[in-house]
Amino acid sequence: MLLDAKRDAIRANLLAWFDANRRDLPWRQTRDPYRILVSEVMLQQTQVDRVIPYYHAFLDRFPTVQALAEAPTAGVITVWAGLGYNRRAVNLQRTARYVVSERNGEFPRSVPDLIALPGIGPYTAGAIACFAFEQDVAFLDTNMRRVLHRLFVGVDVPKLAAKESELIELATELVPPGDGWRWNQALIEFGARQSTARRPACVICPLQADCNAFPAIQSALATLPAGTRLKKEGPFSGSNRFYRGRVVDLLREETRSAGVPIAALGPMVRENYSEADEPWLYDLVRGLERDGLAEVAENGASYDAGPVVKLPG
């Protein structure tokens, strides 16, 4: 159980900060569960500023859950171009098709029923229940988890990490009755803009007095050169995710609608490609096929050219 004084102080200070600093984001202007779902899927591992134009473009093309469900998967992947993590587009359409075919286009309202939808996890279910149906539910994304950990446990490093169940219990107790929408939006915003992973603004933090991590983070920041961040990005270029993205980008091109022979694909996506790389390429393409991002078919025009890779129909 939290001490009432600390809980009340954190609630009051965080909500006051949110009221003064909240961004006017398009998904905060709707209670449509479909639009909330689209925004939450896009925001997974993608920054807000990048998401906004894609969010508008996606909804212009697929304005309803019915429109997304009925669209060719290749068209969905094409509209997703530029957002990365293309598997999200396929999973989003899977959810839409289930809602249309099994629930007559109506989203369930309870968290357990939302989790039962394909492609929906505990966080997304909680976000839809709260942000679309304004239910006082607790859920955790990376930003929310980091804020709660720092406030109540301490610095968020692996060897000191709290259990997920402990953080969910804290999150549940903190939700102000009748104000879950504003509270959860505030917690996300605070983690994204104030208590960030790499350079938290502790000196001007309104929760400083109640933060268990404040002394340790300040000490760590004081020893770093100016501009250094607490965490560094891992390498992306040259990773399998990088090459998966390059394959999907190639297949999106209109001139590739008939597909690309796999024999020609390797040199198009990887410099210095050689025959020794063929097993790697086949594994990469088969992984895309398993994830619903590509189809592999025999090349009817030329057997010697081997299979053809294309976007799913």
Point out the catalytic residue in the list 40, 166, 289, 298. Answer: 40
> Is 276 inside any structural domain?
yes
pLDDT digits (tens, 9 = 90+) for 150-205: 999 888 766 567 888 999 999 999 999 999 999 999 999 999 999 998 888 888 99
Domain count, the chain: 3
Confidence of residue 24 (pLDDT cuts 50, 70, 90): very high
| pLDDT value for 303 | 40
Give the residue carrying structure tokens 């008939």.
258
> Is 6 inside any structural domain?
yes
Confidence of residue 211 (pLDDT cuts 50, 70, 90): very high
Q: Is 105 exposed, middle or buried (0-12, 13-18, 19+ CB in 10 A)?
A: middle
Whether residue 151 is found in the same domain as residue 100 = no
Whether residue 116 is found in the same domain as residue 265 = no
Q: Which amino acid is at 307?
A: P
* Angstrom distances, CA of residue 88 to CA of 97, 116, 117, 290, 293: 14, 17, 15, 13, 10
Distance CA 143, CA 137 (A): 17
Whether residue 87 is found in the same domain as residue 121 = yes
Whether residue 93 is found in the same domain as residue 157 = no
Whether residue 119 is found in the same domain as residue 159 = no
Contact 258, 301 (CB under 8 A): no
Instruction: Give the residue numbers spanning the domain of 115.
Output: 32-133
> Is 305 inside any structural domain?
yes
Active site annotation includes 40: yes
